[in-house]
Chain A
Amino acid sequence: MWIYVDNNLVLGANPNDMTGNTGWVECNGEITEPLFDEYGVPMYAYEDGVLRMRTEEEREADRLVQPTPQPTLEQVNEALNMLLNGVIGDE
């Protein structure tokens, strides 16, 4: 099994020989779970030549609070149009 490692996190796994491709290392471990959890956080780490499942605490720390987007100009315009149409429609 070949794994793609970035900052000790496993971002890819490939059964094919990846010799010569940057970022890939061959390991003896086994991937039994999806590479990413439902939040997109890597499930596996590779440190000192050992593949391991990351702990819940480690993954929790990587979970990012998804930002709330500001309204776009389109959305603002749409809201204004709806408001104006509502006012005009009452007359």
Chain B
Amino acid sequence: MANQYVNKVVIDGQTKVDLTGDTVTPQTLSLGVTAHDGSGAPITGVYSGEPHNYLFDGANLKDVFGTASAFHAAVAAGDFSKIRVGDYWTITLNGSYRDYGEGSTVGQYTTKSFSSATVILEVAAINPYWKYGDSGDIANGTPHVLFISRDCLPASLKIRKANDLWEDESSKNPWLGSALYKTLNDSTNGIVHLVSAADIGAYIYGGSDGNGMRYYGEKRDPITATTSSAAWFSRGKLFLPTEDEIWGRAIFTVKAHQGQKGLPIFEGTRRHISKGLGNGAYRASWWSMSAYAGNNTHFCDVIGGGFPTVDPAGTSYGVPLCFLVT
């Protein structure tokens, strides 16, 4: 069938109009703008650009990729053409875990449970730690996606059993020495073993030593208020954003030893900062992994009203699920 549109006009042997080589399409033309494509057909643009995440509801990555393995293959190949900040992957947690923030002495715990607990994991950043780590880690440019859950896990958890009680004094880092770190990362009884059972859980980044990405964190002796120095640590397969990753700058914590980058999911809006205790819940306070600078009892958190503050580490607050897929 002949082309019903005119895409080339030749008068007296001279080409006056030639659209045949044009590549414009509705998908590449701005929303509402009209033109003619290479066939001469009138088109109206539908491209609305990349919306900021204060407007963007995100796409369900399961609809886009179908399976976790297909999603992982795209990430591993560095193909982020179908992944945007704010897109999401939903998992359901079931089973028991040990909460090491309960009890009064090191090693004590209370067994708790999740049942059909929905967790919507949002893409918080793409390649946020590109060449951030030291050798042998994502320093080599391994493509990665950072997930942080839309709301917190449906449990209120303490950083420490008591405000100044480290669960692991050998760690030399307030986060790694905390009971919450162990509650999340105990490989057999922690929350990580429940997350690992989910489809996407098979692709949680374990890092060079199996304990997550390398990060440049605060080094201090337990029960000291003063930062001694900084060092490379493994952050944990499951971790929390640092204070400066949430707010774009250090406020109460030690500025030199944090994530060094505000995460795009949090930039310009508190839509993704205010989180509930469990999916769809009322907003609640939640922990970051940053200790309060020059203080041995407090950690930085997001208060329920959605602003930065510090609170005693023995306080029960929400905890978002946060991990890397590489």
User: A interface vs B, CB < 8 Å?
Assistant: 4, 6, 11-16, 18-24, 31, 34-36, 38, 40, 64, 66-67, 69-75
Contacts and interface: CB of A to CB of B under 8 A. Distances in A.
B225 interface: yes
B67 interface: no
Given A69-B294, A74-B255, 18 more contacts: A4-B277, A6-B316, A11-B316, A12-B318, A15-B281, A16-B278, A16-B279, A20-B114, A21-B155, A22-B114, A35-B284, A35-B304, A36-B285, A40-B309, A69-B293, A70-B225, A70-B294, A72-B294
A11 B278 CA distance: 11
B282 interface: yes
B154 interface: yes
What are the 7 tightest A-B residue pairs by CB atom distance, in nearest-first order? A20-B115, A12-B277, A69-B294, A36-B304, A22-B112, A14-B281, A70-B294
Contacts of A4: 154-156, 277-278
Interface in B295-326: 295, 297-298, 301, 303-305, 309-312, 316-318
B180 to A, nearest CB: 15
Interface in B85-113: 112-113
Nearest to B317: A11
Counting contact residues on chain B (CB < 8 A from A), the size range is 35 or more
B27 interface: no
A34 B277 contact: no
Contacts of A11: 156, 277, 284, 316-317
B254 interface: yes
B42 interface: no
Given A4-B156, A12-B281, A74 B114 contact: no
B96 to A, nearest CB: 9
A38 B277 contact: no
Contacts of A66: 310
Contacts of B312: 64
B86 to A, nearest CB: 22
Contacts, number: 116
A19 B113 CA distance: 10
Give the residue among B115, B297, B304 with the most A Cβ atoms within 10 A: B304
26 contacts: A6-B156, A11-B277, A12-B276, A12-B281, A14-B276, A15-B280, A16-B118, A16-B281, A18-B278, A20-B114, A21-B113, A21-B114, A21-B115, A22-B112, A31-B282, A34-B305, A35-B282, A35-B304, A40-B303, A69-B252, A69-B292, A69-B295, A70-B294, A73-B226, A74-B255, A74-B256
A39 to B, nearest CB: 8
B100 to A, nearest CB: 14
A5 to B, nearest CB: 9
A35 B276 CA distance: 10
Nearest to B295: A69
B196 interface: no
Give the residue among A6, A16, A69 with the most B Cβ atoms within 10 A: A69
B168 to A, nearest CB: 23
B283 interface: yes
B226 A72 contact: yes
Nearest to B110: A22
A14 B297 contact: no
Interface string B180-205: 00000000000000000000000000
